[in-house]
Amino acid sequence: MPLRPLALIFTAIIVALPLSAQQIQIGKDNKTIAITTSDEASALADTAVLTIGFDSFGKDQDTTYADATRTSNAIISAITTSGTPKDAIQSQQQDLTPLNPENFPDKPHYADGMRFQFSQRWQVTVPADQAANLLQLAITSGANNSGNIQWQLRNDEALQSDAARKALHHARDIASSMAQGLGVQLGPLLYASNQAPAPRIFPMSRMSSESPGDVLRNRTLKPLAISPARITRSSTVYAVFAIE
């Protein structure tokens, strides 16, 4: 009895390669090779979303609010004067709250005669290469609770598309190798779908100082050495190729 070709013996073959997230299916009846594989693309972030903010304390509500107002306006004035557009600044938090002597973090301030705390936060979006200078400007203007950075790309879709394109090329290479092993020709792509995972956020640790006055006396401080994060996007592609 003559031997049948390998493709006629096995009606379906599934190969799983965990390291590269690949699955391969070969069907005799519909003469196709179906592959699921993943790949990724990366690029340096070109946009920084900085968290700028301050905390201040006072002996009574009116004094605390008045001092916070001066600090708040000084910070925003410095940021906008530097050329940052107002629509790049978003308010996130502004709280005036009484101190609790039973709350451990409040005890030192309460012992110093402070009875109220004011906290304010903004998110400021700037080009990545301006992050260090803007952070230095904000801190020396009184933003004593600042520093968290979310790194982003202006065109995140392009990076995601690049990852999908690489995954599809990867799928075709695998399918071509499988077709050669079966002694058949790889035909055209019949179907493809793409599933992209949720993007990750790349934060930078927050910095803080005790009071706005501490940083206002140190205007000769140089900007920090801050480098943009490399953002990676991955894509999983399911592709079906014809075999001839």
Domains present along the chain, CATH in parentheses: 6-43+156-197+235-243 (no CATH), 47-154+199-231 (3.30.70.2970)
Instruction: Check whether 3 has a pLDDT greater than 60.
Output: no
Whole-number pLDDT of residue 112? 95
In angstroms, the CA 185 to CA 193 distance is 23
Q: What is the pLDDT of residue 10?
A: 28
Q: Which helix (H) or strand (E) holds 188?
A: strand 186-195
Whether the pLDDT of residue 9 is over 80: the answer is no
pLDDT of 195 reads 73
pLDDT of residue 111: 94
Task: Give the residue, 9 or 147, on which the prediction is more confident.
Answer: 147
The pLDDT tens digits for 48-98 are 999 999 999 999 999 999 999 999 999 999 999 999 999 999 999 999 999
139 pLDDT exceeds 70? Answer: yes
Instruction: Give kind and range of the element (H or E) at residue 111.
Output: helix 107-111
pLDDT in tens, 198-244: 655 555 444 444 444 444 445 567 899 999 999 999 999 999 999 98
Give the SS3 label for residue 143: coil
Question: pTM of the predicted model, to two decimals?
Answer: 0.74
Contacts of 84 (CB under 8 A, 6+ apart): 124, 126, 134
Write out pLDDT tens, residues 101-125.
Answer: 999 999 999 999 999 999 999 999 9
What digits encode the pLDDT tens for the residues 141-190?
999 999 999 999 999 999 999 999 999 999 999 999 999 998 899 999 99
- CA-CA distance, 58 to 68, in Å (whole number)? 9
Give all strands of the β-sheet with 32-44 in edge-to-edge order.
Answer: 12-17, 22-27, 32-44, 230-243, 186-195
Instruction: Write down the pLDDT at residue 214.
Output: 46
